Amino acid sequence: MKKILVTSLFIAAGVACGGGASEKAKETSTAATTTEAATPSVSDNPDYQKGLELVAKSDCLTCHKVAEKNIGPAYQEVAAKYENTEANVKMLAEKIIKGGKGNWGEVMMTAHPTVSQADAEQMVKYILLLKK
């Protein structure tokens, strides 16, 4: 009888200890999943999506890359240099349209006169969202 009682106590203790850890792991996993779901990705931003689409259709990627300097600066470098303000968005959009030289070295940025102001601003909003 003692053997059955002692065995039952060990089994009960094992279930009690193991069950609590399992529930705690489930709670932690659920909390992490909820936090991840609550934090939207930059790529979910409509400005990101529209800007990416416009950049992909343009010739911008000939001279620029997202994370590496190419002929021109990396988009992440531009995002790090300029604060995301309406004034900067308009100024940088004008640089896309008119071209420029001197801010990133002596290589001239080609003008893009066929790009509308609205599209250029959308491209800039995308670029500024790439800030690390």
> Quick one: 13 and 63 in the same domain?
no
> Quick one: 63 and 94 in the same domain?
yes
Whole-number percent of the chain with pLDDT over 90: 62
> Quick one: 56 and 110 in the same domain?
yes
Write down the pLDDT at residue 45. 93
> Quick one: 9 and 73 in the same domain?
no
> Quick one: 34 and 46 in the same domain?
no
Confidence of residue 128 (pLDDT cuts 50, 70, 90): very high
> Quick one: 34 and 52 in the same domain?
no
Q: With a threshold of 0.85, does the pTM exceed it?
A: no
Q: What does the alpha-carbon distance between residue 116 and residue 91 come to, in Å, rounded to a whole number? A: 14
> Quick one: 60 and 124 in the same domain?
yes
**Each residue's pLDDT tens digit, 12-70:** 444 455 544 444 445 544 555 544 556 788 889 999 999 999 999 999 999 999 999 99
> Quick one: 16 and 72 in the same domain?
no
Confidence of residue 132 (pLDDT cuts 50, 70, 90): confident
Write down the pLDDT at residue 28. 47
| Range of the structural domain that residue 103 is part of | 42-128
CATH number, domain containing residue 86: 1.10.760.10
Confidence of residue 88 (pLDDT cuts 50, 70, 90): very high
Question: Domain tally for the chain?
Answer: 2
> Quick one: 54 and 71 in the same domain?
yes
